[in-house]
Structure formats: structure tokens, C-alpha cells
Amino acid sequence: MYKVKVNDKFHYNVDTKGAEVLLNSEPLHIDVSDLGNNLSNIIYNNKSFNTEVVELNKAEKFCIIKVNGNTYKVDVEDQFDQLLKQLGLDKLALNKVAEIKAPMPGLVLNVKVTEGEEIKKGDNLLILEAMKMENILKSPSDGIIKKILVKQNDKVEKNQVLIQFK
């Protein structure tokens, strides 16, 4: 069984019984037409819905879909996620990053963080110029900046450690 959460608000149980799909233990009768390019048309209760998969993140088990122009975030938990949560081991699966390395040689244009600063996943860390393009390096996870090993106008090599996390 899968636990599905839509927009952190609506919760559903989705299961299969043979070829039949069950939504909260009730059979779900839908007709799906794949239109290609992440687009499909779904008919449910004699109503037509145009859908588009905007983003699919398999690692974090969520997707962003548009249904008739409205955007929804859909989180999915499988039986293994549920078991880990029951055992209290679900937090161990979080990625903990120790350091950020330069993805390519370049020039540090700007450092956006300070040592000791608490950062969230997706926060801008620094701007690296490489091949005449500005690349913003973002935090891959939540954490605290332990040490910044570069400063503005430093030249860096590929895989050089730029920032360390606590």
C-alpha cells in the first residue's frame, strides 16, 4: 500500500488488487490516455482532466503535477518508507553533506554565506564563474556552515573543497 499526500493537506491510501486500483479501499475507475511529453488526459466520473508531470523527484519521492492548470505537490510513501517510520529510522535516510566541492575550475565571484550561519536546502552558497558563465552553487541539504575555504576572486580547481558543514 502507498500513502499519498497532496499539497501536505489531503491524505490517501492507494493499493492494488490484481489489475484494480483502490483509493482508500474503494475501486478507482479512471481512463488514462498518454499524450506524450509528460502530458495525459484522465477521465474520472465522466469529467475530463488534462494533466502534466512538471517535476518528478524519485530520490525524495514526490512529484509536481498540473491538473487543468492547477499545480499540486504529491508525496508518496511506499511500504518500506512506512516501515522505517514505524521503526523510527526514517530520519536516517536524510542526506547529510559534509562539504561542497567545486564542480569545475573557475573564479569565485561572491560568497553568499558566513561561517556559523544556519542554511536550508536550496540556499545560495556562492557564485562561481566558469567558462564565462555565472553558476550559483546551492546547498544540497540543511546544515550549519563550519568553514569557508575560499573568498571572492579566488581561483579554484575542479573538486577543490569550497565550504565545510558541521
**Sequence-distant (≥ 6) Cβ neighbours of residue 53 within 8 angstroms:** 38, 63, 64, 65
Give me the CATH topology for the region 99-165.
OB fold (Dihydrolipoamide Acetyltransferase, E2P) (2.40.50)
**Sequence-distant (≥ 6) Cβ neighbours of residue 133 within 8 angstroms:** none
113 CA to centre of own chain: 22
| pLDDT (tens digit per residue) in 4-21 | 999 999 999 999 988 899
Is residue 163 scored above 60 in pLDDT? yes
| pLDDT (tens digit per residue) in 62-86 | 999 999 999 999 999 988 888 877 7
| pLDDT (tens digit per residue) in 82-129 | 887 777 766 654 556 789 999 999 999 999 999 999 999 889 999 999
> What angle is formed at CA 44 by the lines to CA 41 and CA 50, rounded to 5 degrees?
25
Q: Whose CA is closest to 13, among 50, 44, 5?
A: 5
Confidence (pTM): 0.54
Q: Say if CB 135 and CB 103 are below 8 A apart.
A: yes
In the chain, where the domains are located: 2-92, 99-165
